[in-house]
């Protein structure tokens, strides 16, 4: 499989929006205060249904220092078009999706760069139904950013105010997805909040359900989000689990829309293992709609084989939880996600929710009486290798003839026993080279050949 699969629709036509909203380094285009103001005005005009009535926007953020700057800039742009703004403060991304719908807002905005370092930031949007915007709507917003918007009359400029109960509403919603009359009493849980948006809500939720909570990553200072902690760096949590004799670890990322689980032995389980567990469980309970799981091209072949053995299907999409959700809605499916830990359960939420997924795993531990180590090993993965190569702005390494030749050679070497995926990241300036094959040596040679060609093409 060479490059993008075409599943993105017209995503390639967009310049400002990536796989998950607008993202980049703070104070460098496009993530500047000026651009945030223009985006706020554009999206305000896009979602203001008419010139009368009440128009409401909810804005959440994670704990990055630049969040204050973008919160103010977006508020200025939105209110200039007559939108009233409700500021939630630090809350998880799924809370914004939930509150957009439950508070009858026209729009939801989350200021976060998810798992990226603290210097980065991003802006993602939710429509009034609580789901992320489509490529088509994002393209319309980009057009408004380019052309400029008509400000509201002075008498109809919007208002802004902070609301304090957003996180409590979210906690109660997440708890409501946990089985009734089930408790977590007796379970010792390490929860790593990545010094991010869930640093309050996640420990509170687990404690209220009865767990003995060992929190970490709960002291954000604006600069330490995802730093040595969270779903992308779970080593510290794994050590904490072993040191405290905990039953399980739940590692969230900066905006808490993804989760990585760790068993009682300190071993990490990825999103594929969790999705296999939930798909099999839901299928047994006749809850898995369409007898299918939706995942991306990055999910392991072992997951596909696991599902096929149980008469279930794996529906693949391009990378990005937004594309997973779009396919779920199109096909009427209710379970999907990504190997990286985005888990989407549309019976409960409109986007990936790391805390909610963690609770579903804990519920399965309680129900089955099995340890995390058993539940997190549903199948033997096919050997998989992923390498990233960074490139500079303006470079197009995947168009270089030498790279195309290396890809063709790698595909030929893996033919019949595995697959190769080459793509640009939608959130960082990276080329991602991934291969799977039962022969690990052959797989490594194929990946290394492509990586070397890309590195040479970008002058490394």
Distance of alpha carbon 301 from alpha carbon 271, whole angstroms = 13
Distance of alpha carbon 143 from alpha carbon 140, whole angstroms = 5
Instruction: For 384-457, give the CATH class.
Output: alpha beta
User: What pLDDT sits at residue 11?
Assistant: 39
User: What pLDDT sits at residue 10?
Assistant: 38
Which tokens sit at 78? 């939105």
Q: Is the N-terminal amide bond of 30 cis, ω within 30° of 0?
A: yes
| Residue 18, helix vs strand vs coil | strand
Half-sphere exposure of 144 (CA within 13 A, CB side): 23
User: What pLDDT sits at residue 394?
Assistant: 87
Mean pLDDT of the 254-269 span: 98
User: What pLDDT sits at residue 111?
Assistant: 98
Half-sphere exposure of 208 (CA within 13 A, CB side): 15
Residue 24: in which H helix or E strand, if any? strand 22-25
Decide: 74 and 22 in contact? Cβ < 8 Å. Answer: no
Is the per-residue pLDDT at 45 higher than 50? yes
Instruction: For 181-250, give the CATH class.
Output: alpha beta
Contact residues for 73 (Cβ-Cβ < 8 A; gap 6+): 33, 34, 36, 37, 40
For the domain spanning 11-164, the CATH number is 3.40.120.10
Strand pairing category for 268-269 and 259-262: antiparallel
User: What pLDDT sits at residue 267?
Assistant: 98
Is the per-residue pLDDT at 5 higher than 50? no
Decide: 257 and 298 in contact? Cβ < 8 Å. Answer: no
Distance of CA 316 to the CA centre of its chain: 16
Is 114 among the catalytic positions? yes
Other CB atoms within a 10 A radius of the CB of residue 267 amount to: 15
Q: What is the mean pLDDT of the chain?
A: 94
pTM: 0.88
Other CB atoms within a 10 A radius of the CB of residue 95 amount to: 32
230-256 pLDDT per residue, tens: 999 999 999 999 999 999 999 999 999
Distance of alpha carbon 167 from alpha carbon 8, whole angstroms = 33
Which of 66, 112, 114, 299 is flagged as catalytic? 114
User: What pLDDT sits at residue 15?
Assistant: 82
Other CB atoms within a 10 A radius of the CB of residue 6 amount to: 9
Distance of alpha carbon 195 from alpha carbon 189, whole angstroms = 17
206-223 pLDDT per residue, tens: 999 999 999 999 999 999
Other CB atoms within a 10 A radius of the CB of residue 435 amount to: 27
Distance of alpha carbon 119 from alpha carbon 149, whole angstroms = 29
Other CB atoms within a 10 A radius of the CB of residue 262 amount to: 27
Mean pLDDT of the 145-156 span: 93
Is the per-residue pLDDT at 382 higher than 70? yes
- Residue-range domain boundaries for the chain: 11-164, 181-250, 384-457
Mean pLDDT of the 443-447 span: 96
* DSSP string covering 212-253: EEEEES----SS-TTSS-STT-THHHHHHHHHHT-SEEEEE-
User: What pLDDT sits at residue 54?
Assistant: 80
User: What pLDDT sits at residue 418?
Assistant: 87
pLDDT band at 2 (very low <50, low <70, confident <90, very high): very low
74-129 pLDDT per residue, tens: 999 999 999 999 999 999 999 999 999 999 999 999 999 999 999 999 999 999 99
- Beta pairing partners, 125: 109
Residue 135: in which H helix or E strand, if any? helix 135-147
User: What pLDDT sits at residue 3?
Assistant: 38
Is the per-residue pLDDT at 4 higher than 70? no
User: What pLDDT sits at residue 14?
Assistant: 60
Mean pLDDT of the 378-384 span: 94
Distance of alpha carbon 354 from alpha carbon 360, whole angstroms = 10
With pLDDT > 90 as the criterion, what percentage of the chain qualifies? 90
pLDDT band at 392 (very low <50, low <70, confident <90, very high): very high
Length of the chain, in residues: 460
Please check whether the two domains, 181-250 and 384-457, share a CATH topology. Answer: no
User: What pLDDT sits at residue 51?
Assistant: 56
């Amino acid at each position: 499989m060479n490059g993008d699969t075409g599943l993105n629709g017209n995503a390639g036509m967009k310049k400002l929006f990536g796989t998950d909203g607008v993202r980049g380094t703070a104070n460098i285009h496009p993530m500047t205060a000026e651009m945030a103001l223009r985006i706020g005005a554009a999206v305000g005009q896009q979602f203001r249904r008419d010139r009368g009535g009440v128009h409401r926007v909810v804005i959440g953020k994670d704990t990055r220092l630049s969040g204050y700057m973008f919160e103010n800039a977006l508020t200025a742009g939105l209110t200039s078009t007559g939108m009233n703004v409700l500021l939630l403060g630090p809350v998880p991304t799924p809370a914004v999706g939930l509150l957009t719908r439950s508070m009858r807002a026209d729009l939801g905005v989350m200021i976060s760069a998810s798992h990226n370092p603290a210097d980065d930031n991003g802006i993602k949007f939710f429509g009034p139904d609580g789901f992320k915007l489509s490529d088509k709507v994002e393209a319309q917003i980009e057009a408004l950013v380019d052309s400029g918007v008509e400000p509201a009359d002075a008498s109809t400029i919007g208002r802004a105010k902070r609301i304090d109960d957003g996180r409590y509403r979210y906690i109660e919603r997440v708890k409501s997805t946990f089985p009734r009359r089930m408790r977590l009493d007796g379970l010792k849980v390490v929860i790593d909040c990545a010094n991010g948006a869930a640093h309050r809500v996640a420990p509170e939720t687990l404690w209220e359900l009865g767990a003995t909570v060992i929190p970490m990553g709960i002291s954000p200072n604006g600069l330490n989000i995802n730093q040595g902690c969270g779903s992308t760096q779970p080593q510290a949590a794994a050590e904490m689990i072993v040191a405290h004799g905990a039953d399980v670890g739940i590692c969230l990322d900066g905006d808490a829309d993804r989760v990585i689980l760790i068993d009682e032995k300190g071993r990490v389980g990825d999103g594929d293992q969790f999705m296999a567990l939930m798909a099999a469980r839901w299928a047994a309970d006749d809850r898995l709609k369409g007898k299918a799981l939706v995942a991306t091209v990055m999910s392991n072949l072992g997951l596909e084989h696991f599902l096929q053995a149980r008469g279930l299907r794996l529906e693949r999409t391009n990378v990005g939880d937004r594309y997973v959700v779009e396919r779920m809605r199109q096909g009427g499916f209710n379970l999907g996600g990504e190997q990286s830990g985005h888990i989407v359960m549309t019976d409960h939420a409109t986007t990936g929710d790391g805390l909610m997924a963690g609770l579903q795993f804990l519920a399965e531990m309680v129900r089955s009486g099995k340890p995390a180590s058993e539940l997190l090993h549903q199948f033997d993965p096919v050997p998989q290798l992923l390498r990233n190569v960074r490139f500079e702005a303006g470079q197009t390494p995947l168009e270089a003839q030498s790279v195309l030749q290396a890809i063709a050679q790698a595909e030929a070497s893996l033919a019949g026993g595995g697959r190769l995926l080459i793509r640009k990241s939608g959130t960082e300036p990276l080329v991602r080279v991934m291969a799977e094959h039962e022969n690990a040596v052959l797989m490594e040679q194929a990946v290394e050949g492509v990586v070397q060609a890309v590195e040479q093409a970008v002058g490394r």
